[in-house]
Every structure is written in C-alpha cells, then in structure tokens.
Structure 1
Amino acid sequence: MTSSRVSAGPQPPGRAPAHTFRSVLPVLALCWLAVFFDGMDVNIYGAVMPHMLDDPGLGLTPASAGTIGSWTTFGMLIGALLAGNLTDWLGRRPMLVASVTLFSLGSAGCALAMSPGLFGAGRFLAGLGLGGLMPLCLAMVLEFAPPRRAALTTGVLMTSYHAGGMAATGLGLTVAPAVGWRWVFWAGVAPAVIAVPLLLKLLPESPGVLLARGQRERAREVAVRYGLPEPTPVEAPAGGAKGRLAAVRALFAPGTRWSTPLLWLASFCGLLLVYGVSTWLPQLMRASGYGLTSSVSFLMVINAGGIVGMLIAGRTADRFGAVRVSALWFVLTAAGALLLREQLPLGVTYAVVAITGVWLFSAQVMVYAATDTVYGAGERAAGLGWVTGVGRTGAVLGPWLGGALAANGNESWGFTAFAVAGLVGAAAIALVPLAGRLGDRRASTPA
C-alpha cells in the first residue's frame, strides 16, 4: 500500500504543512479508535466478573478469576515486548493490525469457552494483542505529535482507553443481565470488523521505520504530508536482529542506565494499580456491602474520572513536566485508595471513586510521556516497549493479588496494597531526573 493512500490529501513536493497539533489528528484519531477497543476489552472482564462468578456452568471461583486475570496480563507482557522489538522489522501498521486481530480472536474464544481453562486461554490470546497495541499507538502519536504537545497528545489518546472502559461497563450493566455474560465478549469481536479495515486503509507507516528499512522516498513523503521533519539515519531505529539488540543496549547507555530501571518500577506500580482496579473494583465494592448494580457502576465512574484526568494531566504536564505530574498523581491515587477502605455514604463513595480515577490512570500514562524526555527518537519504540512490557509484571500481579485477597475474605486489604503501589510509583518517577543527571555527569567524567 503506497503512502498516497494514508494521508488526508496531496501536498506539493517539498512543502510540508506546519507541524501543529492539528497535523497529528489523522494518526491520533485512528490510534484513538484502536485504544478504545483495547480499553473495552480490558474492562469487559471486570464488568462481567460478578455475573461469571454467579454462573455455575462455568465453575469460576474468586481465586481462579484472579489467576485468569493474570494470564491476560502475562500475555500483555509478552505482546508488549515482542511489539516493541519487532516493529522496526515488520512495521508499526502491520503490527497494530495484528494486535487488534489477536485480541478480537481472544474475545471470541472467551465467548465460546465452557471451562475456566478455555476461558483463560482466550484471555491470554487477547492479552498478546492488547499488550502490543498500547506501546505501538503511543510510539506512533509521539512520533507524529509536535514536540511541545507530546504529553497533551498522549493524554488525548488515553481518553479512548477509558471511553472503552465505560462502554464495557455499559455492556456489563445492560447486556450481561439481559442475555448473559457471553454476549458481552462477542462485542469484543467488533474491533476486527471496524478498526482493522480503517487501519489498513488510512494509517501511515512511521517515517523512521520506513527509513530504517531503506525506503527513503516513502519516509520523506509521509513526513511531508504530516508536517514532520524529514527523518535522518540517526533518528531511525536500526534494522535486523543486531539493530533490535542495539536498541535495547541503548536503554542502558551512560545517560539512561539509571533512569531506565526507575521508569520500569514506576510502570510496574502504575500498571498494578490500573489492572488491579479494572479487574477487581466491582467485586471489592460488592464485598464491602454495595449492591451488584452499584458495584459495577463504580467501574464506569472511575473510567469517567480517568477521561477527565487524561485531559488535565496532558495539559498540566506540557506546562510543568510529565515527571512532576506523574509523581503527584501517584500520591493522590494512594490517598484515594485509602479513603475507599472506609465505609462512606454511597454518594460520597461515588465522588471518591471518580476523583481517584482522575489521578490513577493518568499517573501511569504520564510515565509513558516521561520516556519521551529520557530516550531519543531511535530508542523511543524500544524504550516504550520495555517500559510497558516490564511494567506488565505489575499488571500480572494486580489481578492475582486481588483474587488471592478475595479468596481469603481480605478484600479491604486490596485498597491498602493499591495505596502502597501508588507511593512507590511516586518515589520511582520522581527520581528519574536525578538519575538522568547522575548518568550524564558520570558519562562526561574522564576515565
């Protein structure tokens, strides 16, 4: 497919439009749609879990439900690592299409599953696709975004995740009680029908990846059409196995060797919070004495808060820096989690859940935005892939931890665990600038 089919319209040769926020909108819109379905698929499980636990034909228990949630995120871990290191070989657009197709097939498998084991296999397959999609979309929008609008663009992209989460909650509240939880998972097949054709027809390939693959003219044409600076060899990810290994080694170069593990730790804590809450919030609130409808509704409320938080965090981070915003947001998330341990009136609880959503999800997304200040263009995809991939170990732990606590009747301790994760994440991301200065100083010191 030629690049003439992936742009909004022809541009005179050599005359690029201004590189403004508007110029990234076509790419942002397509990635927004893909991440919307990502958020819907991730949140479907939590939205229908109470119904699945009540289904005697499936045989799901709280402990096995937590384990299956971890299978999903383990698949995400593998998918994120593979996507970040294969994108320069296969291209970002084909990898995005493959990711969407995989999690749609996984959702179909879940709808057909007649046992927890088969259901878990479907969630693992979905996880492979979900894990690859997020870092690829982030890398795409960061590459096409104006430098001073990177955090805002990232925040706008991630509103789609929470819009998808709200859609999943709506399905859990309406479809699952009416016709059963399996039909909610059938809705997860929609991305293969809706998003894949649009991505194939309209999404441009990364100019940096095109240049790395020797397609200089196509790289230049895409850059001109979207108002980007023409990519140079130093900004392109090196191709082949040696290039992918070099990209990983670059994450531990003198200027980044201390920042990289701190970003990984912050991402671990952030994803533990995101996936622990997304999987277990309805069941934790149900165990606290709230009704089934109210318990599932909390998932919609926290995702609504997440949308507001993304917009606030993106604009605030463009002014004050992603690191500062992420650290503060982690601390506020910890405070919200501790408040949810208390027995509060229903209206107050809804307010606390919404406000916690403002901070919780965007704290993690600002970790992603912070990678743009740590890694250069050639290492950005690998850096994001590893930050999200290693962070997925937190996503694996979060659902398992919630299941273990629920199985032992200690659901309230889940909120304490989330608060601790928030404080550790705040400390890790706050130390990134200091680690970068330390690495630069050591690199500049004569041997």
Structure 2
Amino acid sequence: MLFDGYDMVIYGSLLPHLMNDWQLSAQQAGFLGSASLIGMMIGAVTLTIAADKFGRKRIVLFCTTLFSLAVLSNCFADNPTNFFICRLFTGIGLGGAIPTMVTIIKEMAPSDYRNRLINFMLAMYGVGAILSGLAGLFLIPVLGWQAVFILGGLSILLLPLLYKTFPESVRYLVQKNLQHEVIQALKKLNPNHQHQEGMLYINEGIGSEQKTSLLNLFNHGRAFQTILIWLCFAMIMLMVYGVNTWLPKLMNIAGYSLGASITFLVVLNIGNIFGTMLFGALADKWGVKSTLILGLLICACAIAALGLHPPMLLLHTLLLIAGGVMFGSLSVAHALAADFYPTSIRSTGIGFAAAMGRFGAIGGPLLGGLILSMQLPFELNFIVFAIPGVIGALVIGLFNIKMKAIE
C-alpha cells in the first residue's frame, strides 16, 4: 500500500515538469494522468476475479511483480506514448492487488477490529503519498523526474518477503475444500491447534454461491446495493484522484510557488494517514454507513473552502481535514464492500466496486484538465471537486446496511 500511494500520487509532483518538457496541454496532461487509473480499472476487474478462483496470495505476488516492473520501465519513457503504456501496466498491477489485500484482511481479521485493520493497511497509502511529495521536492530538481520511478520500483524487493510471510485466506481454502492447506494454515496461525483425524472444515451457508460469478453480485437482492456501492466508490475516487493530480498546479496558478504547491500535497496526505486510521475506529464504533456519510459531507465542505484563499494556517488545516476525511471515506467504502459480499465473491465484489470507482478516478484528472482549460474563477475549481462528496453522501444514505449478503 505504501508503494501504491507513492506511485499514484507522484504524477501530481511530476505534472508541471512533464507539461514543460513535453509541451503538454492541460487536456493532454489530464489524459496522461488517467493512464494508471484506466489500468487499475482493468486490473480490478480481471485480477480480482482470478483471486476468487486461484487464491489471494498468488494474485498479490503477481500484481506486485507487474506494477514494480512497470514503474521501473517509466524511467526509460522518452515520450508521452511510452509513458502512458508504462503507467497503464502499473495501474493494472495495483488495481488487482489492493482489493485482494482488503479481502484477505476481511477474511482473516477478528471482527471487533476488522474495519480499523483494513483502514490501517490502507493508511499506508498516505505514507507513500508523502514520500512521493518529498521525492518531488528533493529528487526531481537534482536528478530529474525519472529518478522518482527508480525509488518507486524498489517494491520489487518485497517479493521474497511476501512469498514467505503473506498468508492465504483460510476462508478461501475452506471454500475451495483444500483441507490439507486449511490444516497447515491453522497450525501456522495457532501452533496449539489440534486437528482430529477425519475432521472436515466447512463454511456453512455458501451453498449455491460456491461458484465465482459476476452475476452473483446482483443475485439475492444485491443489485440495487451493488449499484450504490459502485456510485459511492466513483464519487470518492473522483475527488481523491482529481485533487491529488491537480492540487499543485491549481495552487501554483493561485500564486503559490511550485515548491509550496507540492508541500500542500504532502500536507493533504499527512491528513490521509491519521484520517484513515481514525475512520477505521469510528466505523467499528458507529458503523460504516454513518461514518461514511459524515466523512463525505465534511470532505465536500473542506475541499470547497480551499478555493476561498484562506490564511496559510487555515489553509493547512483545511488540507489536513480534506485529506483525512477523503481517504478515510475511501477506506470505509472498501470495508463496506468487504462486509457486504460473501466469501465466494468477496474479491470479485470489492474488485468490481474499485473498478467502477475508477471511472470516477479517471474522470478526476480529466475533469481538472477541463475546468483548467475553461479558466473558471479560482474558487469554482474546488467547488466542482467538492460536489461528488455531496452526491456520495446521498447515495450511501440510500444503502440498506441491515441487508446482509448471503454467506
């Protein structure tokens, strides 16, 4: 997750340099920024279905390999086309990894701490985002923009550690009736576990949903709830990727130096870390629906207020709040999807929610390029990015959290 946050946010730091080096228009820069997001949508659809069929661990290892090699390849991109292709494959790897990791935590974590553990893992996105801002400040001026991708590609070094320590979901093993692997996993988790000869481990109630199927996202009364989850993801991701991509450029236009504008991105993602962990605890205490609605409304207000040219102290406070509630809401949305779908389609459910959300994520950089080309009054730029927060809150207000997906 740390390398995901680093790689997804680094484009905001690179954007002014790429626009200058390659003479990109605002619309071209927005399209280039959407490359990794298009890839994430592809990866979330294809690789998460594979995770429900072939295992969570295998897909995480494959995805880590893919996005690490793609990030390193970006060092050699000498034109927008090559850059786009590298970013596309980076996104495919990340798009498959994140929902699969959420699935594993959902299926392995104690229920009383599940949401906060999911959010703690997702909070590492903010740590990576901060590192990307620091890399933009200190590496690019000295070594050029290519250097930041060498740092991002170090994720390839994680593979031996992941292979040795990353667990396979016990629920997945039971659902696939891999009894020997279940026994090994339980003994690894609890060395005192005693297995009686002839004992079988079963997951009660999976019944007709033993087979992974996209249609199961809409069966058993799930259709309306699934659509609401997709809309919620799309609105949140539009804000997340739109603001992260265009914040430095918009603040630069407002009169702040480029260095200060990138610093604002760092402050935004400091809020991300603390907000994401806080929202996990709130979701365990208040429930995911109430936490999500509150977060989205606060997020809309904070983003809109950024366009009012507040004093520097208030500006930094608003950035901390906006980053905290924006990313905290996205993390809780993942927890909501993980809680809603049963084991047999959980990776598919979370993956497709993330994939549909990528339409919003792709729209974020494109929307920023559009409103920048329209030369709107400065404050309207942030109001446009705030509107999806209000829409997302209304969507979740319609979600029936009491309706449990059939396990």
Q: TM-score, normalised by structure 1?
A: 0.84
Cross-structure match for 1:205: 168
Aligned: 1:384 with 2:350 = yes
Cross-structure match for 2:178: 215
Q: Contact (CA 8 Å) 1:212, 1:238: kept in 2 or not?
A: no
Q: Using the alignment, how far apart are the partners of 2:125 and 2:206 within structure 1?
A: 29
Q: Contact (CA 8 Å) 2:175, 2:344: kept in 1 or not?
A: no
Q: SS at 1:232's partner residue? A: coil
Deviation larger for 279-288 or 373-382 = 373-382
Aligned: 1:48 with 2:14 = yes
Cross-structure match for 1:19: none
Q: CA RMSD in A?
A: 2.3
Cross-structure match for 2:259: 293
Q: Using the alignment, how far apart are the partners of 1:196 and 1:237 within structure 2?
A: 36
User: 1:149 aligned to 94, 97, 113, which one?
Assistant: 113
Q: Relative to structure 1, is the Cα distance of residues 238 and 271 closer, same or farther in structure 2, using a 3 angstrom cutoff?
A: farther
Alignment of 1:394-409 (within 5 A): 394-409=360-375
Instruction: Tell me how far 1:192 sits from its aligned partner.
Output: 0.8
Deviation larger for 60-69 or 129-138 = 60-69
Q: Contact (CA 8 Å) 1:323, 1:430: kept in 2 or not?
A: yes
Q: Using the alignment, how far apart are the partners of 1:199 and 1:60 within structure 2?
A: 39
Query: 1:407-429 CA deviation, whole Å, 9 max, x = no partner?
Result: 33336433122211000111111
Where in structure 1 are there 5+ consecutive unaligned residues?
Answer: 1-34, 441-447
Question: Partner letter of residue 167 of structure 2?
Answer: P
Q: SS at 2:220's partner residue? A: coil
Q: SS at 1:258's partner residue? A: helix
Q: Using the alignment, how far apart are the partners of 1:99 and 1:403 within structure 2?
A: 30
Q: Relative to structure 1, is the Cα distance of residues 237 and 177 closer, same or farther in structure 2, using a 3 angstrom cutoff?
A: farther
Instruction: Tell me how far 1:314 sits from its aligned partner.
Output: 0.9
Question: Partner letter of residue 436 of structure 1?
Answer: M
Q: Contact (CA 8 Å) 2:212, 2:345: kept in 1 or not?
A: no
Aligned: 1:284 with 2:250 = yes
Q: Using the alignment, how far apart are the partners of 1:327 and 1:306 within structure 2?
A: 17
Aligned: 1:414 with 2:381 = yes
User: 1:105 aligned to 66, 69, 86, which one?
Assistant: 69
Query: 1:30-61 CA deviation, whole Å, 9 max, x = no partner?
Result: xxxxx111111101111221222232xx3333
Instruction: Tell me how far 1:369 sits from its aligned partner.
Output: 1.0
Q: Contact (CA 8 Å) 2:300, 2:389: kept in 1 or not?
A: yes
Query: 1:215-270 CA deviation, whole Å, 9 max, x = no partner?
Result: 2111232134336999624577999xx9222xx22221234222111111001101
Aligned: 1:172 with 2:125 = no
Aligned: 1:225 with 2:188 = yes
Q: Contact (CA 8 Å) 2:235, 2:357: kept in 1 or not?
A: yes
Alignment of 1:189-204 (within 5 A): 189-193=153-157, 195-204=158-167
Q: SS at 2:132's partner residue? A: helix
Cross-structure match for 2:331: 365
Q: SS at 2:382's partner residue? A: helix
Cross-structure match for 1:429: 396
Cross-structure match for 2:341: 375
Q: Contact (CA 8 Å) 2:289, 2:401: kept in 1 or not?
A: no
Number of residue pairs matched? 398
Q: SS at 1:341's partner residue? A: helix
Query: 1:82-137 CA deviation, whole Å, 9 max, x = no partner?
Result: 12210133321121111112212221222111111111111111110111111011
Q: Using the alignment, how far apart are the partners of 1:140 and 1:238 within structure 2?
A: 22
Q: SS at 1:432's partner residue? A: coil
Q: SS at 1:340's partner residue? A: helix
Aligned: 1:118 with 2:82 = yes
Q: SS at 1:155's partner residue? A: helix
Q: Relative to structure 1, is the Cα distance of residues 372 and 101 closer, same or farther in structure 2, using a 3 angstrom cutoff?
A: closer
Query: 1:159-191 CA deviation, whole Å, 9 max, x = no partner?
Result: 100000001111001001111111011211100
Deviation larger for 335-344 or 251-260 = 251-260
Query: 1:189-224 CA deviation, whole Å, 9 max, x = no partner?
Result: 10012x111111111212233334442111232134
